[in-house]
A and B are shown apart, each in its own frame.
Chain A
Amino acid sequence: MTNKATLLRVRELKKYFPMTAGLLKRQVGAVKAVDGISFDIYQGETLGLVGESGCGKSTTGRTILQLEEPTSGEIDFNGASLNILKGNALRKKRREMQMIYQDPYASLNPRMTIGQIISEPMLIHGMKTNEGYQKVSATERLKRVYELLELVGLNPAFVNRFPHEFSGGQRQRIGIARALALEPSFIVCDEPIAALDVSIQAQVVNLLEDLQKQLGLTYLFIAHDLSMVRHISDRIAVMYLGKIVELTSRNALYKYPKHPYTKALLSAVPIPDPEVEETRERVILKGDVPSPANPPKGCNFCTRCPLAEEICFEADPAFQEVEAGHWVACHLYEQGIL
């Protein structure tokens, strides 16, 4: 995997949301949603980003696409520094990066037909041709909409219908068609299946995988469902309270997890097989995730870690490569205890 070209390079990315109080809106603190994370995404791969609610995984996705302005850090996409780009230059770059949202009910404008929804990106940016993006006629846009609907498995005859006439799974397909309209190379999928029923989830995941093969897409797949992330990803990053605690290939993560949080998270995921469940040992974590406005001193996980030592309450562990392609941030691993 490492010999592949890097498409996206993120270094020390931080996103703090200020907390204000009083009449003068004086800043009294900050919610450290994303607190210094670094990773690469290679061309054509799927990087899974997992974590519990509030760990900053969606903010990471949104900050990469510059939907939120990062507090600090670098984001290099295909040779361009997104964190420096502004205005028109950034808009042009956005054509190559798109997003699929979690809630298929809230992310489609109810007053637009699906034809209008899917062609809107092309209206703004033009259509990709051999000579770059160019303005095209309404007929050509419509032709492209038909193509896209077919591509995502919807009947092109639906083009004049409104979102409310579709089910959740179909709406998610519409969202995917919209994301593909500009032929992007990189798509952030922000929990695209969390709002769907189980039998429909598999349909959407299969569609995303087919599209990736057909169009050579690169995905950042954000989810809290570890089974699904394992299924779709090549490599997986585990986030906890604004930090990546472990990053490695899908198989290594599931077979040889190193961070205590990853281990606990894996053991908490139920496996649909009563016989396996009977003999499985669970690491049940105590307590809740601390507030990102007031993270604990030392390692962020120290308040819930079943193995925490003295040092874990004092210093923040470094995120380092312990084996080829396997990064972990844990003191215990550093000291050889684990």
Chain B
Amino acid sequence: MDALLRVENLQTHFRTEEGLVHAVNGISYALEKGEILGIVGESGSGKSVSVLSLMGLIPQPPGVISGQAFFEGKDLMQLPPEELRKIRGNKISMIFQDPMTSLNPVLTIGEQIYETLEEHTDMNEAEARERIIELLALVGIPMPEERVGQYPHQFSGGMRQRAMIAMGLACDPQLLIADEPTTALDVTIQAQIVDLVKGLQDEIGMAVIWITHDLGVVAGLVNRVAVMYAGHIVETAPVKILYKNPRHPYTIGLLGSLPRLDEDTHQELVSIKGMPPDLIDYPSGCPFTARCTYVIDKCWQENPKLSSLSEEHAIACWVDIKKGNSHDQ
């Protein structure tokens, strides 16, 4: 068991009045030490729910979670809450999309970071204060001695996200889960944060799961990408292979629908027709069938499993686009 985190057949459904919501439908992946994995998908593809499930942050009910997730040999799904609490914020920490709503407005930044240290370490207050100032400096917040006593509203959006990252790093985690950390930020600030995480990752050697809907951000940051669609991983590959040789029709469509800053010609964007499926009235075949241009009969009946094309590249699709066949293989 060399992988830092190995997720197997994770399923998260929600019981609602309208019916069962199939948010995550059996995903498996492994993350090595020091690796950066990008999980890419549109809203509702289950990318956030999948990591929240791992961390025990989905209340059950209404959530119904099954599957396994091994972290350092322990199955996170089976751990009692108090054991999980020791790992969460300590060995695995998480930063969230919206730094505005995920910080407590009535506590100072220092107090909020101290909560983590108080829970997981036996530092006294003076040591903790020193550590907090060190952390704030590490994430590039100027004048950390002053900033430590300030409240979130005194921070700008980018600074708040830096403070969140400082909080996430407080206990030197082995895994940092970043859930759309730059979506709410402007591009120049996004570049600062991406640069920061890359630098920290180099320095500290932690593994990162970077969740985003933006294939652009991921390109320059991660080692490997998993593309999610309707609660499934439909394609996973090392980042260079995925962009150069995407094989799942959804990935191809997604890349085609992105305009590129360095494009020369003015071509019409290749859009993916239609919309993602209803997660309550979940289709029986491949969830992408209704939007796919390569459909064969089998697609409507059976959902393909993620299967390997090469050692590191896997897709979940009945049709091999490379071979150019679109009918019964």
Cβ-defined contact, B216 with A268, below 8 A: no
For A276, what are the chain B residues with a Cβ–Cβ distance below 8 Å? 219, 262
Tell me the residues in window 245-304 of chain B with beta carbons closer than 8 Å to chain A beta carbons: 253-263, 266, 268-273, 275-276
Is there contact, CB below 8 Å, between B187 and A230? no
Q: Is A202 an interface residue (CB 8 A)?
A: yes
Q: Give A214-229 interface residues, CB cut-off 8 Å to B.
A: 224, 226-228
Which A residues lie within 8 Å of B257 (CB)? 198-199, 201-202
User: Which residues of B pack against A, CB within 8 Å?
Assistant: 42-43, 156, 158-159, 186-192, 194-195, 213-217, 219-220, 239-240, 243-244, 253-263, 266, 268-273, 275-276
- Contact (A231, B189) CB under 8 Å given A169-B275, A200-B275, A206-B268: no
18 examples of A-B residue contacts, CB within 8 angstroms: A169-B275, A197-B43, A198-B254, A199-B42, A199-B257, A200-B275, A201-B257, A202-B272, A224-B187, A226-B187, A226-B261, A231-B266, A266-B261, A271-B216, A272-B255, A274-B220, A285-B191, A288-B156
Contact between A288 and B158, CB atoms less than 8 A apart = yes
Contact at A198–B220, with CB atoms within 8 Å?
A: no
Q: Which of B243, B253, B270 has the largest number of chain A CB atoms within 10 A? A: B243
B219 interface neighbour in A53, A224, A272, A288, Cβ under 8 Å: A272
CB distance from A256 to the nearest CB of B (A): 14
Would A227 and B219 count as touching, CB distance under 8 A? no
Q: B219–A268 contact, CB under 8 A?
A: no
Produce 1/0 per residue, A259-273, CB < 8 A to B. 000001111111111
Q: Which residue of A lies closest to B257 (CB)?
A: A202
Given A169-B275, A272-B255, A231–B188 Cβ distance below 8 Å?
Answer: no
- Judged by a CB distance under 8 angstroms, whether A297 is at the interface is no
Please measure, in the bound complex, the distance between the C-alpha atom of A123 and the C-alpha atom of B276, giving whole angstroms.
35
CB-based nearest B residue for A304: B188
At the interface, yes or no: A280 with Cβ under 8 Å from chain B? yes
A167: B residues at CB distance < 8 A: 275
B215 with A202: CB separation less than 8 A: no
Are the C-beta atoms of A274 and B243 separated by less than 8 Å?
yes
Q: In the complex the two chains form, is A198's CB within 8 Å of B42's CB? A: yes
Q: What is the CB-to-nearest-CB distance from A131 to chain B, in angstroms, rounded to a whole number?
A: 37
B213 touches A197 (CB 8 A): yes
Other-chain residue from B239, B258, B275 in contact with A227 (beta carbon distance below 8 A): B258
Which 3 pairs show the lowest CB-CB distances between chains A and B?
A: A277-B220, A202-B257, A270-B216
A299 to B263, CA, bound (A): 32
The interface size of chain A toward B, counting residues with CB under 8 Å, comes to 43
Residue of B nearest to A210 (CB): B268
In the assembled complex, how far is the CB of residue B60 from the closest CB belonging to chain A, in whole angstroms? Answer: 28
Q: What's the least CB distance linking B19 to chain A, in Å? A: 17
In the bound complex, what is the Cα–Cα distance between A266 and B261 (angstroms)? 8
| A contacts with B: majority SS | helix
A285's partner among B42, B192, B219, B254 (CB-CB below 8 A) is B192
**Known contacts A206-B271, A270-B220: does B191 contact A282 (CB below 8 Å)?**
yes
Interface residues of A in 274-295 (CB under 8 A from B): 274-278, 280, 282, 284-285, 288-289
Asked if A203 is at the interface (CB within 8 A of a chain B CB), the reply is yes
| CB neighbours of B271 from chain A (8 A) | 199-200, 202-203, 206
Residue among B243, B259, B276 having the largest count of chain A Cβ atoms under 10 Å? B259
Residues of A within 8 A of B215 (CB): 198, 272
Chain A residues within 8 Å of B158, by CB? 288
Structural contact, B259 and A228, CB atoms closer than 8 A: yes
Tell me the bound Cα distance from A16 to B243 in angstroms. Answer: 46
Residues of A within 8 Å of B240, CB to CB, are 274-275
Q: A169-B275, A199-B253, A284-B195 are in contact. Are A273 and B219 (CB under 8 A)?
A: yes
Contacts known (A199-B253, A230-B259, A273-B260); A265 close to B188, Cβ less than 8 A: yes
Q: For B276, what are the chain A residues with a Cβ–Cβ distance below 8 Å?
A: 197
Q: Are A277 and B191 in contact (CB under 8 A)?
A: no
- Specify which chain B residues have a CB less than 8 angstroms from the CB of A53 in the assembled complex: 186
- Complex Cα distance A314/B162, Å? 32
Q: Which one of B159, B244, B260, B270 has the greatest number of beta carbons of chain A within 10 Å?
A: B260
Task: Say if the beta carbon of A254 comes within 8 Å of chain B.
Answer: yes
**Complex contact A224–B260 (CB within 8 A):** no
Q: Are A272 and B42 in contact (CB under 8 A)?
A: no
Cβ contacts under 8 Å, A268 to chain B: 187-188, 190-191
CA distance A270 to B183 in the complex (A): 13
User: Closest Cβ of chain A: how far from B245's Cβ, in Å?
Assistant: 12
For residue A291, give the distance in angstroms from its CB to the closest CB of chain B.
Answer: 10
Q: Does A205 contact B (CB under 8 A)?
A: yes
For A170, A267, A273, the residue with the greatest tally of chain B CB atoms inside 10 Å of its CB is A273
Interface-centre pick from B213, B216, B254 (highest chain A CB count, 10 A): B216
The chain A residue with its CB closest to the CB of B196 is: A284
Complex Cα distance, B303 from A14, in Å, reads: 58
Tell me the nearest residue of chain B to A166, going by C-beta.
B275
B268 close to A209 (CB less than 8 A): yes
Contact partner, B187, options A205, A209, A265, Cβ 8 Å: A265
- In addition to A198-B258, A202-B258, A285-B188, 7 A-B residue pairs with Cβ atoms within 8 Å of each other are A53-B186, A202-B256, A202-B257, A227-B259, A271-B261, A276-B219, A278-B220
Q: Give the docked Cα–Cα distance between A269 and B214 (Å).
A: 11
> In the complex the two chains form, what is the Cα distance from A277 to B214 in whole Å?
14
Measured in the bound complex, the distance between the Cα atoms of B259 and A206 in whole Å is 11
A103 at the interface (CB under 8 A from B): no
Most buried by A among B159, B191, B195, B261: B261
Say whether A227 contacts B42, CB under 8 Å: no
